[in-house]
Structure 1
């Protein structure tokens, strides 16, 4: 585990969101939900993927169940420490990630998958304990609705740019993108904000908050 990933692991997304807000950096990916209660916090290097809406592309088709061809490129690329972040435009009518992909990702040491789209095989994913965030669930496979777009290239979701140099932090409050170029600065400010939160928490517990601006 890199030093930055270890440091970022100390902070909930709420603290990191406050930190990026102080710096004027957009970092929250909206409308994404943990697919299992208690799945904890996932932190890793972003593996940005984009699939493109395209009906019945013969290059994407593969018979039956299993893994579609657009996803195959992702499964071949992902590695230990990655968080797969797939952009399907927020589509809710077909899923590009499911149980088989989750099992392989887990074996490869991938930390989590974030779907700007839906996921399927949720029962299986919960059973094996692999962390997934998505906009929702849908049992329909994606290979007749999407084709391969890009991998390891910068994508944009909800006004937030995500590149291979960035980090992802996700918990049950949501998903944050941490710009790699400013990660050290973000850790320093997040440390200050977390300490302030602890001080405020102690005051709340003793009902001794007098002036919020003095903390």
Structure 2
């Protein structure tokens, strides 16, 4: 499977439909650059973070840990959990929830995309299976799907389509790189004018 680190989410969003793009509430909590890797999926009941804390010891290096929670009152993780995940080779967290200790996490350089920050820790009681389909950011994420996250958002590429989507994205980027702004403007204006003319007919 190819490397998506060089592919912007904006390019992928032009290839995939809306059902593969997380809502705008899942955002980078600091400017960490683009991340990409296979999803290790976790489901945490509201207010509980046990299974995320377990996941950092089970996810393979390079994985993006993706969490369904839907809770913004209690933190799913803090500085030490993120530091251990980082040290163990986890690529990033993508959380439908919140974290705490943002200063420590930023200083360590561990990428986190989430709904925000709160100081209150969650509890550790509920045991749920890892690596089952979950919902995060309004879309379904399957274990092994490729998660790409950058400053523009989070896109999930189905594992079965990864090679196809990567090839199409690389072709698109190569075409754009070979086009001057004047050429783009000319093509763009022609398209806009044609659409306006069509609407009048």
What TM bracket, shorter-length normalisation?
A: 0.7 to 0.9
Q: For the residues of structure 1 that align with 2:86 and 2:21, how far apart are their CA atoms?
A: 25
Could you say if the C-alpha distance between residues 17 and 122 of structure 1 is closer, same or farther in structure 2, counting changes exceeding 3 Å?
same
1:36 aligns with 2:17: no
The corresponding residue for 1:48 is 41
Could you say if the C-alpha distance between residues 110 and 158 of structure 1 is closer, same or farther in structure 2, counting changes exceeding 3 Å?
closer
The corresponding residue for 2:199 is none
Q: Which runs of 4+ in 1 moved over 3 A?
A: 68-72
Give the TM-score, by structure 2 length. Answer: 0.85
Mapped contact 1:88–1:116 kept (Cα < 8 A): yes
Query: Which digits, 9 at most, give the CA deviation of each residue in 1:81-105, with x for residues without a partner?
Result: 111111112x211111111111111
Match of 1:185 among 158, 164, 182: 164
Unaligned runs of 5+ in 1: 55-59, 61-67
Give the TM-score, by structure 1 length. Answer: 0.80
- In the comparison of the two structures, how many residue pairs are matched? 189
The corresponding residue for 2:53 is 72
Deviation at 1:147, TM superposition (A): 2.8
Unaligned runs of 5+ in 2: 192-201
Mapped contact 2:26–2:137 kept (Cα < 8 A): no
Aligned-pair Cα RMSD in Å = 2.2
